[in-house]
Structure 1
Amino acid sequence: MSINLISKGFGEKFYSLLDSTEDQINIISPFIGLKTAFGLAEWIESLDNIKCCIITRFNREEFIRGASSIEGLEHLVRAGAKLYALQDLHTKLYIFDNHSVIMGSANFTFNGFYKNHEFGLYMENENDFTKQCQDYFDGLLNKLKSNGDWQISLERILKERQYVNISVKNLKGKKGMNEYNIAKWGAVLNDIPQPAQPNGKETDILEDAISDITINNRKTGIWLKFEGTSQERIRNDEIYLKRKRRINEYVNRTFFPKKPTGIKAGDTIFLTVVSKDKDENEVPIIIGYAEAKGFTENNKIDDSDSRYLKWNNRFPYYIEYTNGKFLNDNIMYGISLNELYRELNHKVYPATVNQPNIRLENIKKRHHQKSHIQITEIAKEYLIRKLNLLFEKHGYEEL
């Protein structure tokens, strides 16, 4: 699991993950700021069929004092977002599609994202953990809905704005400066749902995430990069670079469905083809390695490119690589990912390296539905040593 601490730049990370969101964003935040709400509303309106659901507080005093923006709520509801009110809410959680999460102390406000001293975690392209967070969100929302009708309507917002505007005007006139407006609206829940585990026990998702920090305390900069999909596997009798040339593809590029912002210049990538092994078992095959040049915002292909391929509609982003060394024989003679798991077991991924009792089936699931995933130094050493032996036997080509 790729878990990273974040103490500044919440806003940059939020909008970076928002750029790769295609279907849905879910937010839990007690306070909603005008600038952040306006930016999110514009993003929602610019896309078709995007879903946005937000759980927040609806307290008049917070609107009057500017901690939260009633006008911001109006922008979001008019844009099509669904908002729900929950009293005594303190959780801050941001879920992007089924792939990434931000959690921590930062409210969905300009100060929370850019000015305050905040602390939290973000998990990028981590489907399993994101699902746990989504289960938490869904459980909380279902509990809230069963408590009554607490969806924040445009009619309620407009009525509330009238009260807030009058109170703000009085404050400017120095009336009621020491008064506190107790008016608040929203569900009252005495128990907050936790995502259930297979063993029937409940878990704290934040506790789980923090427990992994000691396991994944640094980025390795070593990646498995998958090419092909489980629906469109690459034939195992193809030769990697020869195939790229045959289909008129750039030999020094590899493509992604979303922006691979985690891959930096100088990182090591092991090209891993979704194919079949010699026994026709469906499994990714590692066929070579290279040095990444890193991702920039310009690394996106479009129809004007002379080598544009139909499948690039689904994989528009790319990184280029150099110093590559690839097997010059059929893909089937590469290193099966099953072999890597069998030989190294829990030592393949940073998030499992300190979990010797983890089941092999759980390790194998970590790469599912991913375009790339980080591995350990131990895995890198094993792969290079094994690939060099295969290069001696089957030949290789350098880039």
Structure 2
Amino acid sequence: MKNTPIIQTIQHNWLNELKNELRDTNCVRIVSPFVTENIVRHLLDNFRGTEIQLITRYNLNDFYSGVSSIPALEKLLTENAKIKGIKDLHSKLYLFDQKSAIITSANFTNGGFFRNKEFGIKTYAAETISESISYFNELWEIDKSNLSLVEIEEWKKKVQDIRNTTIFHNPLPDYGKSYQQKLIGSNKRYFIKFFGKNETRVDLTHHSRKEIEQSCCHYALSFSRKSNDKRPRKYRNGDVVFMAKMIHGNDYAIFGKGYTLAHDDNRDIAGIDDQQHVSWIFDWPILVRVYDVLFLDTTMSNCPKMSELISDLDYSSFKRTMERHQRGYENIKPWNSLRQQADIWLSDTGAMWLEKKFNRALAQNGQVPDSFINQFYRGIPLD
């Protein structure tokens, strides 16, 4: 690779680029939503290594329409390739050991390699290759099992059964694993609970340890008691709740996370013991107990902000604003959903955004140790 640029753009001759990089490659890793037979034939004819790993889609509608090919996957399996499937996959990536990577718009298809107007880069930069391998491995871990020839035969039958009928048919199934389900689960609901009042907002130097000491956030969410004795019944066992401190600038800093227990009318009312340990709880006596809590061990300045969430996702941030958009409403203002509310229900998109932001902040700042949390009152013991 003497005098070879560390990064090159690619606009033409995709097959030649593939063949060149396959030379002396032992393991080729491919991410491509669509795969067709002819390009698989070129791969197998030119690859002399030992391992092929492919991440693609398992949406049978793609195979029915012809944009992707079951026989192409079958051919790869007969050559001992390992294949996994991800729902809604869109990225395209070609990795050749740890020596080079092609990042591109081109699928592993005739269209991607010969017909379409595609663009990409080939890189020999070690850091970029390392990051690309990490991305591949993250996708690879979403699907825990490799595709089998038994599954291939089942898919071929399902697609052929539809081809044999002229009757209108419902969409075929997608057997790919979901990145969203891996990150936030398929049956979990996500909320953000607000801590503080408008007149008691704190600045960015406020530390999460101080908030734990001053509030009961390590064992419960607290709500005011309405005149009609309305209870927070939307919370179910196992729902995820992020905890957000109200900060100056009309913003919120998300500093903690836990799981909820459904409100119990008898257990979850602050009593005398609670009032002795938490002075303000008389005004906020309705509780939702939380468990498996963790808090960012940092000041509010390093916590994910509500303003960032809304700036990035707009109406897609919250369940209610997303539903309003789907019903055709325009000029939706997500900030209005927070006014005079104790909490907010996140959309799935908002939950994914916040999970990633929170986990990144956790990796950078660490979590408050249990030894600190356990020194404080934890409410009436749970049965």
Classify the TM-score, shorter chain: 0.3 to 0.5
Computing the radius of gyration from Cα coordinates, the structure with the larger value is 2
